[in-house]
Amino acid sequence: MDFSPSARSAELTERVRNFVTTEIEPVEPEIHRDIKARREGDGDPWTPSPIIADLQQKARSQGLWNLFLPAEHAGRYAADFGTDGGAGLSNADYAPIAEAMGSSGLAPVIFNCNAPDTGNMEVLLRYGTEEQRKQWLEPLLTAEIRSAFCMTEPAVASSDATNMAATAVLDGDDVVINGTKWFSTGVGHPDCKVLIFMGVTDAEADRKSRHTMVLIPIDAPGVTVDRMLTTMGYFDEPFGHGEVSFDNVRVPASNILLGPGRAFEIAQGRLGPGRVHHCMRAIGLAEKSLELGVRRALSREAFGKQLARLGGNSERIADARIAINRSRLLVHHAAWLLDQGLSREAVSAVSEIKVEVPNMALEVIDLAIQLHGGAGMTDDFPLAQAWVGARSLRLADGPDEVHRNVVARIEFGKYR
Amino acid sequence: MDFSPSARSAELTERVRNFVTTEIEPVEPEIHRDIKARREGDGDPWTPSPIIADLQQKARSQGLWNLFLPAEHAGRYAADFGTDGGAGLSNADYAPIAEAMGSSGLAPVIFNCNAPDTGNMEVLLRYGTEEQRKQWLEPLLTAEIRSAFCMTEPAVASSDATNMAATAVLDGDDVVINGTKWFSTGVGHPDCKVLIFMGVTDAEADRKSRHTMVLIPIDAPGVTVDRMLTTMGYFDEPFGHGEVSFDNVRVPASNILLGPGRAFEIAQGRLGPGRVHHCMRAIGLAEKSLELGVRRALSREAFGKQLARLGGNSERIADARIAINRSRLLVHHAAWLLDQGLSREAVSAVSEIKVEVPNMALEVIDLAIQLHGGAGMTDDFPLAQAWVGARSLRLADGPDEVHRNVVARIEFGKYR
Amino acid sequence: MDFSPSARSAELTERVRNFVTTEIEPVEPEIHRDIKARREGDGDPWTPSPIIADLQQKARSQGLWNLFLPAEHAGRYAADFGTDGGAGLSNADYAPIAEAMGSSGLAPVIFNCNAPDTGNMEVLLRYGTEEQRKQWLEPLLTAEIRSAFCMTEPAVASSDATNMAATAVLDGDDVVINGTKWFSTGVGHPDCKVLIFMGVTDAEADRKSRHTMVLIPIDAPGVTVDRMLTTMGYFDEPFGHGEVSFDNVRVPASNILLGPGRAFEIAQGRLGPGRVHHCMRAIGLAEKSLELGVRRALSREAFGKQLARLGGNSERIADARIAINRSRLLVHHAAWLLDQGLSREAVSAVSEIKVEVPNMALEVIDLAIQLHGGAGMTDDFPLAQAWVGARSLRLADGPDEVHRNVVARIEFGKYR
Amino acid sequence: MDFSPSARSAELTERVRNFVTTEIEPVEPEIHRDIKARREGDGDPWTPSPIIADLQQKARSQGLWNLFLPAEHAGRYAADFGTDGGAGLSNADYAPIAEAMGSSGLAPVIFNCNAPDTGNMEVLLRYGTEEQRKQWLEPLLTAEIRSAFCMTEPAVASSDATNMAATAVLDGDDVVINGTKWFSTGVGHPDCKVLIFMGVTDAEADRKSRHTMVLIPIDAPGVTVDRMLTTMGYFDEPFGHGEVSFDNVRVPASNILLGPGRAFEIAQGRLGPGRVHHCMRAIGLAEKSLELGVRRALSREAFGKQLARLGGNSERIADARIAINRSRLLVHHAAWLLDQGLSREAVSAVSEIKVEVPNMALEVIDLAIQLHGGAGMTDDFPLAQAWVGARSLRLADGPDEVHRNVVARIEFGKYR
């Protein structure tokens, strides 16, 4: 047993952390204020601040770019993309880096490590044809374009994929897409150029062979972003979450990923590392929130004492510290298991962190909000938006209940 | 022991409930969409929809107006204001009516029973001079104007009133106001005309005799609404929560309420019933959220079952039912105790509900959100905003921790 | 709405409370020490202390006897039994009396208000024939004998009554009993003379018409108390919980209660008030535990402060106060609903308290234990045994999960 | 990062686990039944079953003996004691072995790895003189004798050591002991020969230099075991928890450990690894309880379904799996930190696990009890006693609140 990170991981984590602290955090409030001002009438809140592209350039030039890219692809892409190909990190090596990025809402995109682009890039890397990669993966790796993932539907309980109503029907050399998707994160971004769509191709096929994933250019005729959704009042500009309708959208069958009816295969491979990333970022968020909470609680007094030492606050802060530490270890362990191969234990571990971490983060952020008083609910601090992000994560990529069910099923399996 | 409401209370509750269902709920989504559209660029989101005034007129004509007004003032105002004087209800009688109003975010203002106007009206009723009442209470009772309460400050832990930094200094026949307040709810409303301000007059006086409350016209020179605050992304138009600065604001000393140094006396009387109202509305919100959650969970299926019957959902729904019922009884009991006079038991009871109810409501609303999936986070349902409102209530009118401290002190007192 | 108890209830509660404080509490530790000493070798722990009979005599002579007896039977039995017939109290009137008794583990039996005898007496009152009452009810009403209820079985999940394996088969004028029951509370008592047994008579009948209840003298041939069970190390002498086997036990069919196949009818009527009693006693236990905890926490110091004011203790004590108060109101309300007749609302309410109260009591008692340090785990204080009693109550009379299911089903029924 | 155990640790864990499964578990129920029978009158429950000594001999002969002994002492003692000197394991290596032992209440003593003997042996190893070791350590290492640790006092809040009232006063070449201690675990065992006593020597000295630890033969004149305590009804024979009074007990000053006034130094060194052991055993207990719970829940049916799949059970089982896994990692990490040296991070980690693990274990065991129905409360399963053990651990070695305070203080220190 050795809990030390590898030297490579430690060094990159440190560099990312410094970059976040010295380059990103100082400009982040200004970027948020700017979006808010534009939303209140001074312009289009969806146009990204030019600061973002500048910081991306800087991060890229320092080799802090595409670090999420899995080890197995590093060699290959290193040749073509240089640092754009990432550092060839294992999941366990990348985990603390993702935490470092997660402490800021803005940081992931600066390092080209933001969801859903990371997941989409991984899909293209693993399952894309040479042409698909050329067309979409390369500009994603350079952040020239952005992408979205269209899976959840407004009209059905999408946690059960067999409920999915949207269709991807083969018609000669084409595939024809119909249906409505929502919570398509990223479609609000002006650079969003491609959607990975999942729909039913053969409703009669085996439960896991019905669905197909298709690459759809966002400007294909019949694609409409009907509206952008808020989550608890936040649009999350400049990415946002959209409701997208597909009305007889026709694209060549060569846009299909892996092959008709093979969407589940792709989804399975895509989600493990993605959930580790999500969870590690959530831990970064929780850690940052606890820091803000403790600093605030040490800096203000009431009834003749620092807030930190008043009533149950110190015990609650201790509980938050315990909660973060144990969750971090659980995610590190899940990342390490994924690196060993996709065992049942790894499947369980990924579902375990998906339940544990967002709930833990919510409690810690909530405490930090409470320690800030009313200020914690405003946008003077990143806590309110952090809470909303963590709350959304209890639903995104499968609600808690579905993941608990995965864990339970594997547990029951031990005794059969 | 008799848990039946009085006939009067039952009848008014039923009428309010019907009004909410038939008149308010059908138009509420439209009003919210309209505010959102205006915020996104089509106009000023702070101008109230004309539907509101129409509904107020309708409610008033049916005698469903100012029902919060305490029994002791009913006789007196009945003569002057007719139905505007309320129905002379006890706290216990009003409680279920407040719950009925609370199921809709819009309803309280329709019945002229919304915070902070209700609390401000009560202050004027109990402590205002004839002139003060003439000038401010009468137009508040008819909803001609709106008001705000300026107590919390951004720079200090305001849960300890001795931290308060803003001042109200007597100068000849005037009182001069300086300082910055925030979370002044209602200052965003175009009809907001008067602020009840609380500040330090004599920092050397006894802890409970230092502060003074002053009526300040919002257009007095030196008053500036610096900005409107969001709570988790929501501005809560058309009322909103403002940060207000007071720069050498000078008003006649006759604007002082009750007398210099007597703010605590007023605060004490103001807060008991106000907290009962807040809590009963929060119960209405929780009840409505549970209804939405159960309806959704019965109407959607996953994995071959109604969501309501899947995994732990039915047990969680049962827990929510239990939680709402016990909280409601706790508030009814607190209201009834207040009606018996301000005992230590009543003081404890008011703090007890202030801790219990918002936390209970948060759990129930959170469950309802989870049962809705991603939709629960959007504004397609009132749940996200309900959650934010309940979360704010854990800080407004004293954070949980302060109220727990009140309860504990009274508990300790029993054994001395 | 009126939360005051009736004058009758208030007066009896006060008298019971005084009796508990002045007569029972002073001798209770001695009785427990005595049982413990006998268990450790000085005699038979199952022989009740003679103090118990003395105190019963005293309570009876003061009219504090059989107070649980429901109002509808008071008139009838008052004639025959005088004060033995109880006071004719409604459930709501009896609730605070049950709480007063619940603060001491010993008190209920002193007032002849202990489970399962109360439930068994009620069954005999409601469903017994004249002979059955003469033979068993009269000596139970005078505490001359004790009784037990034999329902749960060791070999099956008894929360589902259709799992029940024990049989009560009609054979001519007799009924023949076979099977094994456990958690038959009271069979350890030397005065336990009669068992109410529930078993399957017609496995083919409708789900609710299969079972029969039979009165079985404990000395009937074939009845064996195989062993006494501990719950977390406690035998709960002198009553105890036994495992009882029935081997071709033959009793006259006239021992059947109400009629073959009608056990469910009886169970339904028996359980509502019984659960209210259990819950009110649990509230008395929680209230007593909180008192002990607060007294201890005020009387000891660590790190320069009373324990009560250290860290999160005061907040936890406040939460305990809130939890007790809200639970009490929930039970009072359930009692009041039962008094109005057996509606769906009352059925839900009884299941709600059955979930809420034991869990609440466990939290409060656990806090009190923690405030006592190691002492809380010993028998120097009644807390450890109180905790075990409350924990058992999460299983007895239906586990939490079954009751949550009842509540959920009724909730779902509102939206069909 | 590498979560694999070392080969040595893995091999020993596997061997211990097998020994527990094949040698201990089959005889454990019989040993418990036997103690119970003797307590109920058939003999002295404090005499250990001869099976224990047989199994100890077997474990010792297989080298599964004294495995807790820290690496730094292995070399030295290996020479003298052979396998009795342990395997020279780091804390991280020993952790999974402690878990394997923890799954059975009996196992630790079989491997001579039971508290408090392990802690006492460590103290002698680190701080004992040659004579002290000769006299007491050697027979402890061979399990010839047993020991107890006398620290907590009944009359004061012992979590604050400055409250300690017992004294160890130097008088010429002797040290004179007075006072009363309780929760002295192990004094019930007939082989218990030595007590490590902690008392005040110089009340005027610096807070951390007042106390002295002294080795006291249990048969020294003036030592009396006043009584054995139960924890929730359990005596935990044959070790037990005693109340011990010291009445002018006089022993040579050479019995002092390390030196007068140096008890805190010893305590600090003793407690880190001891807490890791406690916590790992508690994880073993939780893991075993979950296994029992899941097996039961899969083997019984109600309402047409396995209990495991009924209502919220599967989600609760998933939560238990998550809770165990995250706690295990937290303890492994703490063990690993201790192996790196006693940093502030390690101090915090030890307090973190001391809060996290017993509370986690309680929840998991409670779930397992609930899944067993009433049976879970009896001694037919090890769950009831497991729960009591875990509950005691929230008080032993410092209550939760004290450990949370340690964690909070270290957290605050980061921002000063």
B135: CB partners within 8 A, 6+ apart: none
pLDDT of C65-83, one tens digit each? Answer: 999 998 766 555 554 555 5
> What pLDDT, on the 0 to 100 scale, is given for residue B235?
95
- The C-alpha atoms of residue D345 and residue A325 are separated, in whole angstroms, by 11
Residue A272, phi then psi, degrees to nearest 5: -55, -65
Single-letter residue type at B252: P
- Among D189, D47, D28, D56, residue whose Cα is nearest residue D112: D56
Regarding whether C385 and C311 lie in a shared domain, the answer is: yes
* DSSP secondary structure letter of residue D83: G
Q: Is the dihedral of CA D341, D347, D349, D355 positive or negative?
A: positive
Please say if the pLDDT value at position C269 is more than 80: no
Regarding whether D132 and D166 lie in a shared domain, the answer is: no
> What pLDDT, on the 0 to 100 scale, is given for residue D232?
96
- The C-alpha atoms of residue B336 and residue B290 are separated, in whole angstroms, by 26
Regarding whether C96 and C50 lie in a shared domain, the answer is: yes
B22: CB partners within 8 A, 6+ apart: none
In a domain, residue A60? The reply is yes
- Exposed/middle/buried for residue D22 (C-beta within 10 Å: 0-12, 13-18, 19+): exposed
Residue numbers of chain A with a pLDDT score lower than 70: 72-86
**B302 at A interface, C-beta within 8 A:** yes
Please say if the pLDDT value at position C139 is more than 70: yes
Single-letter residue type at A178: N
> What pLDDT, on the 0 to 100 scale, is given for residue C159?
87
Residue of A326, A402, A403 for testing the chain D interface, max D β-carbons within 10 Å: A326
- The C-alpha atoms of residue A121 and residue A194 are separated, in whole angstroms, by 11
Residue of A40, A164, A230, A388 for testing the chain B interface, max B β-carbons within 10 Å: A230
Residue C380: CB atoms within 10 A of its CB come to 17
CB B276 within 8 A of CB B91: yes
Regarding whether D401 and D270 lie in a shared domain, the answer is: yes
In a domain, residue A1? The reply is no
Q: For B306, which residue in chain A has the nearest alpha carbon?
A: A157
* DSSP secondary structure letter of residue B5: P
pLDDT of D265-289, one tens digit each? Answer: 998 777 788 999 999 999 999 999 9
Residue indicated by tokens 């998550």: D322
> What pLDDT, on the 0 to 100 scale, is given for residue D90?
94
How many angstroms separate the Cα of D389 from the Cα of each of C200, D276, D398?
40, 16, 15
Q: Which residues pair with D242 in a beta bridge?
A: D184, D228
**B152 at A interface, C-beta within 8 A:** yes
Nearest CB among D41, D229, D374 relative to C378 is that of D229
- Among D148, D134, D271, residue whose Cα is nearest residue D217: D148
Residue of A315, A316, A367 for testing the chain C interface, max C β-carbons within 10 Å: A315
**C407 at B interface, C-beta within 8 A:** yes
Chain C residues in contact with A315 (beta carbon < 8 A): 311-312
Mean pLDDT taken over chain C: 94
- Among D100, D78, D99, D98, residue whose Cα is nearest residue D87: D78
Backbone torsion region of residue D186, taken as left when φ is above 0, otherwise alpha when ψ lies between -120 and 50, otherwise beta: left
* Of B261, B287, B314, the domain-final residue: B261
> What pLDDT, on the 0 to 100 scale, is given for residue D387?
98
The CATH number given to whatever domain includes residue B255 is 2.40.110.10
CB A205 within 8 A of CB A238: no
Single-letter residue type at C105: G
Residue B206, phi then psi, degrees to nearest 5: -50, 145
Q: Give the residue, A70 or C51, on which the prediction is more confident.
A: C51
CB D290 within 8 A of CB D317: yes
Chain D residues in contact with B315 (beta carbon < 8 A): 311-312
- Minimum distance, in Å, between the CA of residue B157 and any CA atom of chain A: 6
Chain A residues in contact with D409 (beta carbon < 8 A): 314
* Cβ pair B294:C5 closer than 8 A: no
In a domain, residue C2? The reply is no
Regarding whether D151 and D140 lie in a shared domain, the answer is: no
pLDDT of D58-88, one tens digit each? Answer: 999 999 999 999 876 655 554 455 555 667 8
Regarding whether A307 and A191 lie in a shared domain, the answer is: no
- Sequence-ordered alpha helix ranges (H) in C82-207: 91-102, 107-110, 117-127, 130-132, 138-141
How many angstroms separate the Cα of C265 from the Cα of each of C158, C252, C253, C301?
18, 21, 18, 56
pLDDT of C148-167, one tens digit each? Answer: 999 999 999 988 988 999 99
- Minimum distance, in Å, between the CA of residue C304 and any CA atom of chain A: 15
Residue A395: CB atoms within 10 A of its CB come to 23
Regarding whether B166 and B44 lie in a shared domain, the answer is: no
The CATH number given to whatever domain includes residue B98 is 1.10.540.10
Chain A: partners with 3+ C-beta pairs within 8 Å: B, C, D
- Among A243, A250, A277, A221, residue whose Cα is nearest residue A89: A277
- Among A129, A371, A400, A362, residue whose Cα is nearest residue A256: A129
Structure tokens at D5: 């155990």
Residue B21 parent element (H or E):
none
In a domain, residue D16? The reply is yes
> What pLDDT, on the 0 to 100 scale, is given for residue A416?
80
Number of compact structural domains in chain C: 3
Structure tokens at D374: 């009433």
> What pLDDT, on the 0 to 100 scale, is given for residue A40?
81
- Sequence-ordered alpha helix ranges (H) in D20-164: 28-37, 50-61, 71-81, 91-102, 107-110, 117-127, 130-132, 138-141
Regarding whether A284 and A225 lie in a shared domain, the answer is: no
In a domain, residue D58? The reply is yes
Q: What is the pTM of this model?
A: 0.97
Regarding whether C386 and C328 lie in a shared domain, the answer is: yes
- Among D330, D321, D254, residue whose Cα is nearest residue D290: D321
How many angstroms separate the Cα of B183 from the Cα of each of A369, B107, B241, B246?
15, 21, 5, 14
- Residues B397/B401/B402/B407 CA torsion (nearest 10 deg): 110
Residue indicated by tokens 């139960």: D230
> What pLDDT, on the 0 to 100 scale, is given for residue C406?
97
Please say if the pLDDT value at position B79 is more than 60: no
One-letter-per-residue 3-state SS of chain A? CECCCCHHHHHHHHHHHHHHHHHHCCCHHHHHHHHHHHHHHHCCCCCCCHHHHHHHHHHHHCCCCCCCCEHHHHHHHHHHHHHHHCCCECHHHHHHHHHHHHCCCCHHHHCCCCCCHHHHHHHHHHHCCHHHHHHHHHHHHCCCCEEEEECCCCCCCCCCHHHCCCEEEEECCEEEEEEEEEEEECCCCCCEEEEEEEEECCCCCCCCCCEEEEEEECCCCCEEEEEEECECCECCCCCCEEEEEEEEEEEEHHHECCCCCCHHHHHHHHHHHHHHHHHHHHHHHHHHHHHHHHHHHHHCEECCEEHHHCCCHHHHHHHHHHHHHHHHHHHHHHHHHHHCCCCHHHHHHHHHHHHHHHHHHHHHHHHHHHHHHHHHHCCCCCHHHHHHHHHHHCCCCCCHHHHHHHHHHHHHHCCC
* Cβ pair B378:A303 closer than 8 A: no
> What pLDDT, on the 0 to 100 scale, is given for residue B341?
86
In a domain, residue C59? The reply is yes
In a domain, residue B1? The reply is no
> What pLDDT, on the 0 to 100 scale, is given for residue A85?
63
**B392 at D interface, C-beta within 8 A:** no
- The C-alpha atoms of residue A302 and residue A293 are separated, in whole angstroms, by 15
* Cβ pair C401:B315 closer than 8 A: yes
Nearest CB among D329, D352, D401 relative to A315 is that of D401
- Minimum distance, in Å, between the CA of residue C317 and any CA atom of chain B: 6
Regarding whether C237 and C136 lie in a shared domain, the answer is: no
Residue A192, phi then psi, degrees to nearest 5: -70, 115
Q: Give the residue, C315 or D73, on which the prediction is more confident.
A: C315
In a domain, residue B408? The reply is yes
The CATH number given to whatever domain includes residue C364 is 1.20.140.10
**A313 at B interface, C-beta within 8 A:** yes
Structure tokens at B112: 């002229």
Q: Which domain holds residue D55?
A: 7-145
Residues 314-343 of B with CB under 8 A from C: 314-315, 317-319, 321-322, 325-327, 329-330, 332-333, 336-337
CA B39 to chain centre: 24
Chain B residues in contact with D308 (beta carbon < 8 A): none
- The C-alpha atoms of residue A11 and residue A14 are separated, in whole angstroms, by 5
- The C-alpha atoms of residue B185 and residue C268 are separated, in whole angstroms, by 52
pLDDT of B354-403, one tens digit each? Answer: 999 999 999 999 999 999 999 999 999 999 999 999 999 999 999 999 99
Chain B residues in contact with A384 (beta carbon < 8 A): 230-233
CB C140 within 8 A of CB C192: no
Give mean pLDDT, residues B96-100.
98
Residue B305: CB atoms within 10 A of its CB come to 12
* Of A126, A144, A162, the domain-final residue: A144
Q: For B359, which residue in chain A has the nearest alpha carbon?
A: A366
CB D238 within 8 A of CB D189: yes
Residue indicated by tokens 């609760």: D316
Regarding whether D33 and D127 lie in a shared domain, the answer is: yes
- Minimum distance, in Å, between the CA of residue A397 and any CA atom of chain B: 11
Q: Which residues pair with A70 in a beta bridge?
A: A89
Chain C: partners with 3+ C-beta pairs within 8 Å: A, B, D
* Of B145, B177, B209, the domain-final residue: B145
CB A282 within 8 A of CB A331: no
Round the CA-based radius of gyration of chain A to a whole number and report it.
21
> What pLDDT, on the 0 to 100 scale, is given for residue A292?
98
pLDDT of B9-56, one tens digit each? Answer: 999 999 999 999 999 999 999 999 999 888 887 789 999 999 999 999
Regarding whether C276 and C257 lie in a shared domain, the answer is: no
